[in-house]
Structure 1
Amino acid sequence: MKNISIKYFGFILLISLGMVSCSQETYDNQEIVTEQMLDATFTITELSANNYQITSNSNDYVINNYWDLGNGTGYSSGKNTFKLFLPDAGEYEIKHKVTGAGGIFSTEETTLVTVPTSDPVAGNLIKGGKFNTDDDIAEWSIGGVPGGSGIWTFADNKATLTASGWSGQGIYQAIEVEEGRSYQIDMYISSTSGCTDTWFEVYCGYVDPATISGDYSDGGSLLAINTWAGSGTSAFGQMFTTIATNPEANGLFTATVTGTAYLVIRGGGSDMQDGISVTNIELRGVSE
């Protein structure tokens, strides 16, 4: 099944997650909670194109709700009702489970939502950003660090760069942009152990990476991990915009020309033996 990435920042995902206020003391008869007493069913109501209302049928025995919205990061705790913006056409698998007193989990409930049409503004311009299939991987070219000896591997629905001895390498993809429009770039980035003497950066520019003679830098760094600046030194797994060392750019690209631009992800360093991985790569227009 194809999972569709769902972002948590404002213009892409309109969702507020928090804890449900409920405790053992509020139960009528102070009953011991069992799995059978917990209700994880929920309803999904279409409010308008690409916009949905999610409502849990949780009862008074529920202390917390957990939702998996298909973004590859697993379950997150949250409210029992919220609004959800699904900007990309596709099939979304929404999962829900709840807990009661004593940490008892319910069974998992799943509902599929089919979105027929992408939002004309916020739809993802990146192709193959989840690396789910060979066709996804084929959307990407190796480059951005000419002569680089770093290695990109594609497995487990992610792209992983490993490097050592100050080597590096990049991947890139051509996209079509409109003059004057701004685009938000983000992706899920992770490392199982962290790195030493390492950089990892995202660019978006008009120069074709296949034509450059040095490291790609057109448009300036829009997202970066830099161990000398204190990021990426220990294990991590989160959206790039939340860990980047250059928050002033924060993945925002504004097109100065209508036409073909290139999203380039490149990195390297002294010790990336366990690698840095990316998935759920997105570039979306920002509403004016």
Structure 2
Amino acid sequence: MKLNINLRNSFFAAAIAALGLLTGCQPDEVTNGNPLTMVDMDAAFTAATTDGNNYTFNASNDANIQYHTWKYTYTGTFPVGNLAEVKEYGNTKSMTFVFPGTYTVQHRVVGRTGGTNFVSEQTFVVTNLLLGENIVSSPNFENAADWHVFNTSGSQTVTWAFNNGSATASGGVANAWSGQGLYQAVQVEAGTYRVDMHVQGPGGMDQTWFQVFVGATQPVNGSDYGSDATTMLGLNTWAGCGIAPFNGMLSAVGCQGTGTNVTFTQPGTAYIAFKAGTGSNNGVTGITVSDISMRKLP
């Protein structure tokens, strides 16, 4: 969604805002410099985007304009620096907004005589986090062969079933601890990756867990997994989730783990794994997984 606030005023827009000139719905026009030395110049610009993160801005190519400057300020929850004013002799500018939040883009045109300048602003609300490509193969289990099954321990009454576009863990009997997991190897670069997936289930579970790991060691059939891997995200009835029905991204509905991000200091092979298990007579009433993603942060 894009919210436009168009201004045509002097470069000292903050001072004008303090006087209450920016509260109206219509653009305010203020000129700076001697109008006898430079005719009015149009600082307005248009914005185009195909994905909500990458923008192309176009402004007037008036012959009276000596050069253009562009900058943006950011308001949001991520540690994003503001873009310093950049002089551009052309009238176009491309910007990439990586993180969700509000970006205020300011365009200034400077005249060829008298130093006259005019400013226009627009505000853009970015909702998507711009990430790298998904390095997980078959994120919706398009090819079940991309995923390997491993039993963690116990009677193996908890099992995974592959569906059309998802996989579901279910099963378990009273006082018979059981768990089963899925994993695949992924190739990572040095840097930070964001991991998440969609989970859905009817709830009603007890003494039940679902955990997502990223580790450097390959899971082994018949052995539990997680002692040397990072517990990223999870459902855990002891911690209070999985009891009520759930449907959403695990980062939002889960209640266990260190969070979505994992950092690698060097490139290599890593393993993304998740396991479900229970010791309750309720069993795993159904945990359906889809849209598994592991994407590199910029």
Q: How would you bin the TM-score normalised by the shorter chain?
A: 0.5 to 0.7
Distance 1:263 1:51, change over 3 A: same
Alignment pair present for 1:138 and 2:148: no
Matched letter for residue 206 of structure 2: T
- The residue number in structure 1 matching 2:286 is 275
* 2:248 paired residue among 238, 244, 247: 238
Alpha-carbon contact 1:51-1:83 (below 8 Å) kept: no
Distance 1:284 1:16 in 2: 25
Alpha-carbon contact 2:208-2:284 (below 8 Å) kept: no
Distance 2:228 2:171 in 1: 23
Distance 1:144 1:208, change over 3 A: farther
Matched letter for residue 159 of structure 1: A
- The residue number in structure 2 matching 1:252 is 261
**Post-superposition shift, 1:215?**
3.1
**Post-superposition shift, 1:272?**
3.1
Distance 1:146 1:47 in 2: 48
Distance 1:275 1:47 in 2: 38
TM-score by length of 1: 0.55
* 1:223 paired residue among 228, 233, 237: 233
- The residue number in structure 1 matching 2:193 is 183
Unmatched tracts of structure 2, length 5 or more: 4-47, 57-123
- The residue number in structure 1 matching 2:213 is 203
Distance 2:251 2:243 in 1: 17
**How many corresponding residue pairs?**
182
Q: How does 1:165-184 map to 2 (within 5 A)?
A: 165=173, 166-179=177-190, 181-184=191-194
Alpha-carbon contact 2:247-2:253 (below 8 Å) kept: no
Distance 1:47 1:164, change over 3 A: closer
- The residue number in structure 2 matching 1:63 is none
- The residue number in structure 1 matching 2:160 is 152
Distance 1:273 1:206 in 2: 28
Distance 1:162 1:190 in 2: 12
1:199-245 deviations in Å (ceiling 9; x for gaps): 11000001111378433332231111110111110111011011222
* 2:275 paired residue among 263, 266, 285: 266
**Post-superposition shift, 1:250?**
1.2
TM-score by length of 2: 0.53
Distance 2:238 2:188 in 1: 33
1:143-191 deviations in Å (ceiling 9; x for gaps): 2625644210111421111131321100001001123x11110011110
**Post-superposition shift, 1:195?**
1.3
Distance 1:161 1:82, change over 3 A: same
Alignment pair present for 1:162 and 2:170: yes
Q: Percent identity?
A: 33
**What SS class does the counterpart of residue 228 from structure 1 fall into?**
coil
Alpha-carbon contact 2:148-2:184 (below 8 Å) kept: yes
Moved more, 203-212 or 236-245: 203-212
Distance 2:193 2:151 in 1: 21
Distance 2:253 2:172 in 1: 23
**Post-superposition shift, 1:125?**
0.8
Distance 1:47 1:234, change over 3 A: closer
Q: How does 1:54-203 map to 2 (within 5 A)?
A: 122-131=132-141, 133=142, 135=143, 137-143=144-150, 145=152, 148-165=156-173, 166-179=177-190, 181-203=191-213
Unmatched tracts of structure 1, length 5 or more: 1-14, 18-44, 54-80, 88-120
**What SS class does the counterpart of residue 220 from structure 1 fall into?**
strand
Alpha-carbon contact 1:173-1:264 (below 8 Å) kept: yes
